[in-house]
Amino acid sequence: MTTRTLTQTVTFTKPFILAEMDETQPAGTYTVETDEELLEGLSFYAFRRIQTLLHLHVKAGRPGIMQTVNIDPKGLEDALSRDVASRLPGTVIPTS
C-alpha cells in the first residue's frame, strides 16, 4: 500500500485536554501528523486515514523526551472549536 503523511500545525489559546491524554496540555502551537493509505483498485485517487498523531510539548525538567499521542481527529476538531468559542464574548462552550 502507498501511504502519505500530512503535517499541519494547530494553535490552542487556552489549556486543553483530549480523551486520549492523561493530563491537561498548555496553550500553544502543536504539530499534527495524519497518515493515510491509498485505496487501490479505484479509477480515481482516494485515501483512508490510518492514524492521527499529536506531538506534545516537552515537559520542563524532562529535556529531550518528546511525547506523541495517537488521537481521534474528531476530538481534536471539537477541542479546537471549543478553544475558538472561548474567545467569543457571550458564547456558551459545549462540553463533551
Instruction: Look at residues 17, 18, 15, 12 and name the one whose alpha carbon lies nearest to residue 30.
Output: 12
Q: What is the pTM of this model?
A: 0.81
Cell 511525547: give the residue: 67
- pLDDT per position as a tens digit, 33-89: 999 999 998 899 899 999 999 999 887 776 777 899 999 999 999 999 999 988 776
Q: Give the β-pairing of 68-71 and 3-12.
A: unpaired
Residues sharing a CB contact under 8 Å with residue 88, sequence separation 6 or more, in sequence order:
none
CB 53 within 8 A of CB 76: no
Q: What is the pLDDT of residue 66?
A: 84
Domain locations in the chain as residue ranges: 3-86
Let me know: does 56 contact 68? Beta carbons within 8 Å: yes
